[in-house]
Structure 1
Amino acid sequence: MNQEFVTGGLGQMMDEDFESWVCVNDHSCAAASSVHDDAYFCFIYHEGKETFVPWGANKDLQLFSFN
């Protein structure tokens, strides 16, 4: 299965544990938005534990747009 994703840094929200995020298209945690069909669900990466932590839907976080 080929999934699309978008990634970036946390900028001023960065701390010693969390530095980056990734949003995955059509992830099972996402619910499609009726406004712009944003089915991306986002995770932040815990550097120390080397694991992704669920963060929320991009339609709520607005980390990136489709414009």
Structure 2
Amino acid sequence: MNLNLRHAIRQNVEGNSQDQLRETILDAINKGEEKMLPGLGVLFEVIWENSSEQDKAEMLSTLEDGLK
């Protein structure tokens, strides 16, 4: 069986409202389950691909600060 995890995750949240997406993210973070990490990764990939260079720089700065 050939499962494209990225595609499946994107299909699962396609068309969701901002509130639904927020709940998905908060649920994944609050549960802290390892199985949720790929989904968060795919969501981050979507954010990254659709961000300006300025937004990317801000995200990297935030990430760097958060990992100190």
Asked if TM exceeds 0.5, the reply is no
Quickly name the TM-score band, shorter chain normalised: under 0.3
- Larger Cα Rg: Structure 1 or Structure 2? 2
Q: TM-score, normalised on structure 2?
A: 0.24
